[in-house]
Amino acid sequence: MNAPERNLNFTSTNRGELARIVLVNEEIKAIVATAFRINLMALNAIFLAKRAGNAALGFGVLSNELRRFAQDLTRHMASLRDMTSGSVGSVTGVVQQQRNSAILAAAIRLSGDGVPGVKDARKRGATRLAEQQAKLRTLDMRLRAAVEETQQLVELGGVLARSAKIEAAYGGGFSPALMQVSTDFAEVIAQIKRSLEVLGKERLVKD
């Protein structure tokens, strides 16, 4: 059984687990908000490229690609968000089970192992906890795979932003405006990349 045997100090550890999943959830919410911003930026870039006409044909192609990228990113993040909100429920379930098991263990310690029914109660609690932890491990693996996939997508976004910067240089009179837009893209994508790196290091369960 995973319940601590000495005292009821389990709460601080479990609070840590909950805090960690809340952190993951908040990080994903932040990226979702940024992805939404990219979508609007890409739309603006498309309009700007249209206004620039022939001078910004290359930039126009890239801004369309960036829009598609933003839409893909939003989809990825929505699926990540679903996964983490499920994880918050699972982690909370584990915390509750651990707390119940720990308090029951404290009661058994005071009463002695000879009390009828305590072995069965311990076994039931341990089984429930193991099931919940296995579920959490599966969620953790899925979340890590999804984060890695999103990281690859964001790499592509970074390449598109760099190419847009190059194309902006050929934008004639619109060049400064196009350069500003492509710089904004690059900055936002770098911000998402950093958030994903933080996310990639977080674990729902301890190894």
Where along the sequence are the contacts to another protein (CB under 8 A)?
100-101, 103-104, 106-112, 115-118, 121, 124-125
Closest approach of Cβ 89 to another protein, in Å? 16
Are 196 and 164 spatial neighbours (Cβ–Cβ below 8 Å)? Answer: no
Neighbouring residues of 82: CB distance < 8 A, sequence distance ≥ 6: none
With residue 132 as reference, give the H or E element that holds it: helix 118-168
Closest approach of Cβ 93 to another protein, in Å? 12
Closest approach of Cβ 92 to another protein, in Å? 14
The nearer residue to another protein, 106 or 190, going by C-beta atoms, is 106
CA-derived radius of gyration, the chain: 25
The nearer residue to another protein, 112 or 173, going by C-beta atoms, is 112
Three-class secondary structure of residue 104 per DSSP: helix
Closest approach of Cβ 180 to another protein, in Å? 54
The nearer residue to another protein, 118 or 190, going by C-beta atoms, is 118
The nearer residue to another protein, 84 or 101, going by C-beta atoms, is 101
Neighbouring residues of 153: CB distance < 8 A, sequence distance ≥ 6: 69, 72, 73, 76
